[in-house]
Structure formats: C-alpha cells, structure tokens
A = this chain, B = another copy of it.
C-alpha cells in the first residue's frame, strides 16, 4: 500500500509513550512516531549505534514517514526490561539481546547465540536463509512481539578474570557477570553468576563484588575500563561465538503498519546488522593493540580441555531445556542440522582460508 492511500484509509499516527517534543522537531511530517528502548548505554557507541542505525535507516528509507526516538538503557526502562516494555506496548520498539530473556524461555538463547554455537556469518545464514526467522517469530508472537537481527558483535572475547583459568576447577567460588545459557554453564561449573547490564559492570569489578566478567571485545571493554581493573583477558568467547542483537517491535503496532513499512523495518534492521559487525571489526584490532600496549593485561587462550568441560555442561543444559521448553525442543533439530551443514562447508572454505592467511 502506498503511504498516501494508507493515510487516507487509516486516519493515523500511532500513539506513543511520553516523548521529548524537542527530539521531534520534524514530527508533524511523520506518519509514525515510535519510541525505541534499548539495553545499551550511549558510551557503548557501537552496540548503541546498532539501535541508532536501525532508527536512522528506517527514517531515511521511508522518506521520513517513520520517526524513531532511541532511548539508552535506564532513560525510560532498565537495560534488561526492554522485552517487557515493548511486549506491553509501553514502547513501540526495542533493541536488545534476546538471550537476556532466557528466564522466560530458554529458546530465546538461539536468537542471540547459543554457547558453542554458530559465529556471526553462520547465524545470519540460519536466520535469513535457513528458517531461523520463522522460529524466532513463533517464539516472540505469544508475547506480542516481532524481532529481526539488527547487529552482531562477531566472536566475542572470553572475558576478564582476576586470576589464571587453567581448568574448570578454577571457577569454584568465582563470581562472574555472564548472561544467558553461557551463565548457566558457568554456574554448573561452580561459578557464582550475575547478570548486569553493560553500564553497571565496571563498578562491580572494581569493588570486587565480581571477580570476572565478559562483555564484548577490545573496543567496548576498553571504553568500559575493564583493562584497568582485571589482568587476564581470555579468548575465544565460547559462550557467544556470534551474538546477534535484535530490533523488536510490538506486534500490534507492526500488524497495523502498511506492508511496505513492515518490509522497510526488516531491511533497515538488516543494514544495521551488517554495519554493527563491520564497526566492531574495524575498531577491535586497534583497541586490542592499545590494551596490550598498556602493559597491565595478559592475553590468554582458554585451554582446549577447559572448553571441552564447559561444552559438556552446555550439552546437559541443552538437553534439559529440550525437556522444559517446547520452543527449545522444536528449534533444536533445525538449528543443529543447519549448524552441522554450514560447519561442514566452512571447514574447507572460511576456516581453510583463515588457517592459511592468519598465522
């Protein structure tokens, strides 16, 4: 439907939560005015940038028909309350990580990143071309939500620790910030697990209320200052090898949109998706070099046996989730089948190339 027809037919303008009028100087020209709550502080400009880019691209491509005001974590709702705030309709849109909400259903973990799962390229393939999006829709619809991939950090670092990690025994009694099923793995391995939004981690680490944390990678971790308060920096990020962020919309709001605006939302999210991964890749290399040049940080790789132990715990958790969650069980077969196929091809393509090109 063309915008003019829709305007004629529908009357218009989605109601909204309390907006700052100053940020809508041009609002009279816009048909749809949406508020987007996010899980990110503005200081983390790459991941918060994923929310801003989704809003910006959607505004641009619709020639101003959709205007989105983006709120950082805490401005309207807490960083981990985004899902509920969009589900209830208090806000039309959100930008968050689905795995923050595994307490509602463990199946939410698939749509950020499963521990020991797929990397960003593989996850995008599953979501965009392998049936993943349909399963995400099925999971979100009962909560009156729809979401599309709108950012990815790439393979993360494994985290910051105040001591060396040589085996899972070293995790006994360690308090670590790590969300999602990765956190459940660490808990099973003996760690005390906390989930904190990005903006609250530094103080907890500095004050010693946590001994370890993961966030994203060198660029963000440097902004958050972890290199000033933790010594051992581990890779790789087994707990989220290619975590995707999601652009959420309240499903009633979405269903009331003309189809071309619905499609524009998905296209804008896709463009923000590839842009965030590009931003992280463009920024992490320099940040890593700076962190190491600081001299206080020691880079480490998790021992393979340690990873094997954690993968064993992960498989236990997956098996239990298959029993406890219908959607986890429904998604497991298609997800593992896709993962195995794409790994089989990447073994001789992407991995073979990295093996040759990176020493």
Interface residues of chain A, those whose CB is within 8 Å of chain B, are 2-3, 29, 57, 60-65, 116, 119-122, 124-130, 154-157, 217-218, 235-238, 241, 258, 260-261, 263-264, 266-268, 270-271, 273-275, 277-286, 288-289, 299, 301, 304, 307, 338, 340-359
Contact = CB atoms under 8 A, between A and B. Distances in A.
Given A60-B264, A121-B121, 5 more contacts: A3-B63, A64-B260, A125-B281, A155-B350, A289-B341
Contacts of A57: 263, 267
Nearest to A299: B348
Contacts of A125: 277-282
Copies of this chain, tallied across the complex:
2
A110 to B, nearest CB: 16
A345 B218 CA distance: 9
A65 B284 CA distance: 39
A217 B154 contact: no
B268 A129 contact: no
A260 B29 CA distance: 14
A65 B304 CA distance: 55
B348 A236 contact: yes
Task: Say what secondary structure dominates the interface of chain A.
Answer: helix
Contact of A358 (B281, B285, B351): B351
Given A2-B29, A282-B338, A285-B344, A349 B260 contact: no
A9 to B, nearest CB: 14
A278 B130 CA distance: 8
Nearest to A56: B263
Nearest to A260: B63
A64 B353 CA distance: 41
A307 B121 contact: no
Contacts of A284: 345, 349
Nearest to A280: B125
Given A60-B263, A127-B278, A282-B125, A119 B350 contact: yes
Contacts of A359: 347
Contact of A217 (B124, B128, B271, B349): B349
Nearest to A29: B2
